[in-house]
């Protein structure tokens, strides 16, 4: 399927099933909606999966990795080589996302969307940190190019590369859901990637570069000020069309941002919930949302990052984060933690007895 066919095949979540789920919640043996957002989460999963017996037991996190030409402008506190080194750490099971994925029982798949080095392909290798079968990890190669170009000198990539990045992310996620994954999470790795993510956010939301820019890896005040100016300059030079997702992605985006957008489109098409992570994942979500607003029905915001632009991005899509823990690591870590909450909402919906089942009298108020 081409991108247009994918977008046209996505339908909103089922509102009739949502109503039936809400009716079921009203009969649970507790004061009406006493578990607040947990009740809402369970009902949303029903509407997404088109069933009153929702399940999110099988979980997978896609860590999209890419390098960025904009690093040449000194926007990161870390050298570009760290991208490849961190990919190796993901594969050895020692990164933050590996730890949190093991806790929630999610598999971790690292997707090389366009990092500079070639990393040895570890196919289904066992986790050296003692993960069970639910947390194996793999490296999937979908390298578009060896990093994007510096978008202060022209587009970050060609439109063909932008389209390919989305289609590659779609293909990888589609395969996972067809193999039985019920809950997807999106993560990222790429030194310098908060810069294109902030640029994507500024263009789509209409906010200024200054409002969208955060400190990323922890840059100092001088670099922080320069980073905002670089984003503003890149947007001015390339003049991306705010209504054209492919144009935006190609001019100021990143390969992993496109891959994330594709994964979200796949989740929506195959009627699976997807948990987005921080700034970079949400930049991908903005691309997917610009292509097809109906994907918002399928997305859960795992957390609110301390990156100041993240709040603006989430508000634009209409998502309320499940957690706010002062996190800014990326990798999919906030989404992995939020998977516990989503599974809790589903288990409440399925396992809490109704008043009739429990033989408890309902409120007369």
Q: Residue 303: beta bridge partners?
A: 323
Q: What pLDDT is recorded for position 110?
A: 97
* This prediction's pTM: 0.94
Q: Which of 307, 313, 308 is nearest to 299 (CA)?
A: 313
- pLDDT, tens digit (0-9, with 9 covering 90-100), for 118-146: 997 554 443 333 333 333 458 999 999 99
Q: What pLDDT is recorded for position 364?
A: 58
Query: In the predicted model, what is the mean pLDDT of residues 248-266?
Result: 98
Q: What pLDDT is recorded for position 130?
A: 36
CATH class of 56-340: alpha beta
* 129 vs 206 pLDDT, higher one: 206
- pLDDT, tens digit (0-9, with 9 covering 90-100), for 334-358: 999 999 999 999 999 999 999 999 8
Distance from CA of residue 305 to its chain's centroid? 12
Break the chain into its structural domains and give their ranges. 56-340
pLDDT at residue 222 above 90?
no
Q: What pLDDT is recorded for position 217?
A: 60
Task: Judge whether 167 counts as a catalytic residue.
Answer: no
Query: In the predicted model, what is the mean pLDDT of residues 20-40?
Result: 97
Among 26-35, 110-119, 223-232, 304-313, the range scoring the smallest mean pLDDT is 223-232
Contact (CB, 8 A) for 345 and 47: no
Which residue among 136, 161, 167, 331 is the active-site one? 331
- pLDDT, tens digit (0-9, with 9 covering 90-100), for 162-181: 999 999 999 999 999 999 99
């Amino acid at each position: 399927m081409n991108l247009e066919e994918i977008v046209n095949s996505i339908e909103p979540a089922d509102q009739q099933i949502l109503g039936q789920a809400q009716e079921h919640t009203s009969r649970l043996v507790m004061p009406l909606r006493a578990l607040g957002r947990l009740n809402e989460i369970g009902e949303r999963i029903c509407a997404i999966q088109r069933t009153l017996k929702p399940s999110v037991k099988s979980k997978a996190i896609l860590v999209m990795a890419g390098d960025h030409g904009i690093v040449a402008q000194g926007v990161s506190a870390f050298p570009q080589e760290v991208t490849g080194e961190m990919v190796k750490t993901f594969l050895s099971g020692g990164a933050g996302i590996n730890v949190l994925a093991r806790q929630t029982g999610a598999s971790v798949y690292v997707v090389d969307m366009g990092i500079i080095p070639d990393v040895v392909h570890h196919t289904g290798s066992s986790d050296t940190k003692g993960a069970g079968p639910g947390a194996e990890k793999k490296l999937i190669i979908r390298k578009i190019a060896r990093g994007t170009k510096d978008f202060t000198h022209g587009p970050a990539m060609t439109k063909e590369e932008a389209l390919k990045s989305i289609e590659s992310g779609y293909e990888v996620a589609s395969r996972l859901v067809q193999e039985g994954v019920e809950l997807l999470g999106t993560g990222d790795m790429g030194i310098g990637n908060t810069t294109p993510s902030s640029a994507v956010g500024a263009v789509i939301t209409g906010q200024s570069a200054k409002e969208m820019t955060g400190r990323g890896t922890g840059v100092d005040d001088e670099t922080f000020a320069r980073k905002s100016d670089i984003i503003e300059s890149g947007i001015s030079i390339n003049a991306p069309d705010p209504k054209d997702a492919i144009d935006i992605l190609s001019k100021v985006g990143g390969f992993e941002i496109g891959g994330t957008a594709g994964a979200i489109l796949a989740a929506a098409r195959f009627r699976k919930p997807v948990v987005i992570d921080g700034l970079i994942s949400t930049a991908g979500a903005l691309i997917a949302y610009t292509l097809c607003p109906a994907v918002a029905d399928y997305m859960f915001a795992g957390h609110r990052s301390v990156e100041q632009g993240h709040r603006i991005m989430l508000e634009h899509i209409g998502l309320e984060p499940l957690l706010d823990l002062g996190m800014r690591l990326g990798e999919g870590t906030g989404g992995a933690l939020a998977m516990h909450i989503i599974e809790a909402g589903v288990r409440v919906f399925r396992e809490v007895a109704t008043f009739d089942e429990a033989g408890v009298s309902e409120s007369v108020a």
